[in-house]
A and B are shown apart, each in its own frame.
Chain A
Amino acid sequence: MSPPRRERRKADPALSDPERLYVITGAPDGERAALDLVTMVVAQAEPSPMVQPEQAAILRLCKAPLSVAEISAYLSLPFSVVTSLLTELLATELVESRAPVVRASLPDRSLLEAVMHGLQKL
């Protein structure tokens, strides 16, 4: 019996526009920091009574680098809630963030080589 068949689709420039990177919709313009699921976050200060309990928890979790996805998982809070909490912490410099290395229009071969090297050791 022959398997069912699919039909190939064309790239839609409107959907693959690199300008769309990190535009988080749903938030009012510019109110939320551009954070990815794998933006790495590191605390720059000890938790203080000045911050919300959720933010104090983030400062405790991020003594060592942690991704936004991991923060969301450990706090059991949705990604968008975590990005709101982080926006304030970033603005007040209580945390630092490092944006992920993304697939650019011309991917960086040395990055891919570093990934392959790491995978080989698994």
Chain B
Amino acid sequence: MDFRSSDTITGPRSEDVLPSTATAAVKVVVVGGFGVGKTTMVGSVSEIRPLTTEETMTQAGVGVDDNVGVETKTATTVAMDFGRISLSEELILYLFGTPGQERFWFLWNGLFEGALGAVVLIDTRRLQVSFDVIGRLEERGVPFVVAVNTFPDAPHHPVEALRAALDLSDEVPMIDCDARLRTSSRDVLMTLMRYLHRLAVPLA
């Protein structure tokens, strides 16, 4: 294993060290196609410089280039950007931004399981890139909100047209955002929490 001598490991900067009371953590996952602003959003709300964790995944597959149907095992390294928000002395929120190909995100066990919910970032110039990931969240029953990242040259579709195009049910919140702004990204997270709060109320 390629491991640096432990003396050279740099841990968190002193201002990033959590208090010993920090014992409860929750997580939210930010998904969306390449270049929609996931890394930007994680960075804009994080109290620490965003970090990267990775996982190696092995997937048994069948060769597609030949017709022989040979079993192959491929290893892929998937990296994940994440940031952190201390909500109180005890409670910490971690925000994960998924890169690359979505089929690998869902193979990462424990990434979506246990997450409070997800933020789907969309770019109205390339709506289709979010179709598959939205479907996968639906299949897994992961609650999500849709945040429309407003790029200057993006076509403006009315929210109802977007809702129809994305085939979202009426209760799924949609919100405009600028992922570069901390307050805007914070509002997206607030929208997700309010939505989860509503879902938590049993409809008698």
Q: Do these two chains interact? A: yes
Q: Point out residues on A near B: beta carbons under 8 Å.
A: 1-12, 15-16, 20-26, 35-40, 42, 47, 53-54, 56-57, 60-61, 64-67, 69-70, 72-81, 98, 100-103, 106-109, 111-120, 122
Given A11-B139, A56-B6, A116-B194: A4 and B127 interface contact (C-beta under 8 Å): yes
B51 to chain A, nearest CB (A): 4
CB-CB contacts below 8 Å: B9-64 with A: 9-12, 17-20, 22-27, 45, 51-56, 58
Once the chains bind, are A122 and B85 in contact (CB under 8 Å)?
yes
Once the chains bind, are A118 and B93 in contact (CB under 8 Å)?
yes
CB-CB contacts below 8 Å: B87-103 with A: 87-88, 91-94, 96
Shortest Cβ distance from A36 into B: residue: B110
Shortest Cβ distance from A74 into B: residue: B11
Q: A11 vs B186: C-alpha distance in the bound complex, in angstroms? A: 28
- Across the interface, B165 reaches (CB within 8 A) one of A4, A54, A74, A81, namely A4
Q: Point out residues on B near A: beta carbons under 8 Å.
A: 1, 3-6, 9-12, 17-20, 22-27, 45, 51-56, 58, 77, 80, 82, 84-88, 91-94, 96, 108-111, 113-117, 124, 127-128, 131, 134-136, 138-143, 155, 157, 161-162, 164-169, 182-183, 186, 189-190, 193-194, 196-197, 199-201
Which residues on A sit within 8 Å (CB–CB) of B115? Answer: 102-103
Once the chains bind, are A21 and B139 in contact (CB under 8 Å)?
no
A18 to chain B, nearest CB (A): 8
- Across the interface, B93 reaches (CB within 8 A) one of A16, A57, A115, namely A115
Q: Which of A23, A53, A100, A120 has the most CB of B within 10 A?
A: A100
Which residues on B sit within 8 Å (CB–CB) of A66? Answer: 11-12, 18
A99 to chain B, nearest CB (A): 9
Shortest Cβ distance from A42 into B: residue: B20
Majority secondary structure of chain B interface residues (helix, strand, loop or mixed)? mixed
Which residues on B sit within 8 Å (CB–CB) of A122? Answer: 45, 85, 182-183, 186
**Can you list 7 A-B pairs, Cβ within 8 angstroms, ordered by A?**
A15-B141, A16-B140, A36-B110, A54-B3, A64-B18, A78-B55, A101-B25
Once the chains bind, are A115 and B138 in contact (CB under 8 Å)?
no
A20 to chain B, nearest CB (A): 6
B23 to chain A, nearest CB (A): 5
B198 to chain A, nearest CB (A): 10
Q: A23 vs B109: C-alpha distance in the bound complex, in angstroms? A: 7
- Across the interface, A64 reaches (CB within 8 A) one of B3, B19, B58, namely B19
Q: A119 vs B188: C-alpha distance in the bound complex, in angstroms? A: 10
B90 to chain A, nearest CB (A): 9
- Across the interface, B157 reaches (CB within 8 A) one of A3, A65, A113, A114, namely A3
Which residues on A sit within 8 Å (CB–CB) of B128? Answer: 4, 6
- Across the interface, A79 reaches (CB within 8 A) one of B9, B54, B155, namely B54
Given contact pairs A53-B5, A69-B96, a sample of 6 additional A-B residue pairs in the complex whose CB atoms are under 8 Å apart = A4-B127, A6-B167, A21-B114, A38-B94, A75-B3, A112-B197
